[in-house]
Amino acid sequence: MSGVALRVHEHGTAGRPRVIVLHGGPGGAGEATPLAEGLGRWFSVLEPWQRGSGSERLTVARHVADLHEVVIGCGEPRPALVGHSWGAMLALSYAATHPEAAGPLVLVGCGTYDEASRAQIGRTLGDRVDADVEAAFDDLMSVADPVRRAQRRHGLIERLYAFEPDDTLPRPTIEIDERAQDETWSDVVRLQAERIEPQRFSAITGPVLMVHGAHDPHPGAMIRDTLRAVMPQLEYRELARCGHTPWIERHARDEFFTVVREWLARHETTGVKRADGDA
């Protein structure tokens, strides 16, 4: 047992398969609430808020163990996992550790698995930073409260990562835990340096869909090719005029939910699916 009761929010009460939505960050609890609410129109959705920083240093294994308690307690064998950014990486780590317990995987704006992909993110973001953005980041230093400073920084980064966000949509309150992010991401990089991930993802035999915005600084094609080397069944769908967070995008939001809903409905029974080509 983890010794910590995770906060788990429920959205929707009907529909199959059971879906567990995993937020990004790491340390960005609440960030995926609109995704969970949106999928809750068709499915029964759980949204666990991942463990925050504390007396125990956070690792990928710790998050996987926490998620396993949610999975075995969800009332349905092999629920679908829909993860955003780091949450997509957590879904993969979980499914590789517990392939018998994980259902279909949907990876939204998946994170990176090599230094080349991370360098590409840096170049893309560098091209998007102008004088106004630099000034806005400099102004963050004048915000004394660390929570407000972290939230404002998240808002600035969201703008850099988006194509055209719909400002009429409500934004969730995000509990940003920078220490949780640093500790968890350090372990993510260690697993890659030691060639544990993504290599161990070859244990995943169930269906996997990667949904990626064409405007996302995360280089979708590079990440896709890295993952397909160990998961040839991975299907890939790229959304035009879409950044890192599809559910906030004015042009791609509806298409995104349609793609994910229809794919999950097709994979209600979680047999192995090998892709003949991109979705």
Ordered structural domains, the chain, with CATH: 7-266 (3.40.50.1820)
83, β-bridge pairs:
22, 107
Specify the amino acid at residue 4: V
Vertex 101 angle, CA 90 and 229, to 5°: 55
For the stretch 210-248, pLDDT in tens is 999 999 999 999 999 999 999 999 999 999 999 999 999
CB 15 within 8 A of CB 43: yes
Q: How much is the average pLDDT of 108-118?
A: 97
What's residue 164's pLDDT? 95
Q: pLDDT grade, residue 15 (50/70/90)?
A: low
CA distances from 223 to 25, 55, 89, 184, 190 (A): 18, 33, 11, 20, 18
CB 88 within 8 A of CB 108: yes
What's residue 102's pLDDT? 95
- Phi and psi at residue 202, to the nearest 5°: -65, -15
Q: Smallest Cα–Cα separation from 92: which of 72, 112, 73? A: 112
User: Sheet holding 208-213: strands in order across?
Assistant: 7-11, 45-49, 19-22, 80-84, 105-108, 208-213, 235-239
For the stretch 138-193, pLDDT in tens is 666 676 676 666 666 666 677 889 999 998 998 888 888 989 999 999 999 999 99
Q: Which of 9-13, 82-86, 129-133 has the highest mean pLDDT?
A: 82-86
Q: For residue 47, what are the contacts with CB-CB under 8 A and spacing of at least 6?
A: 8, 9, 10, 11, 20, 21, 23, 32, 33, 36
Whole-model pTM? 0.89
What's residue 159's pLDDT? 81
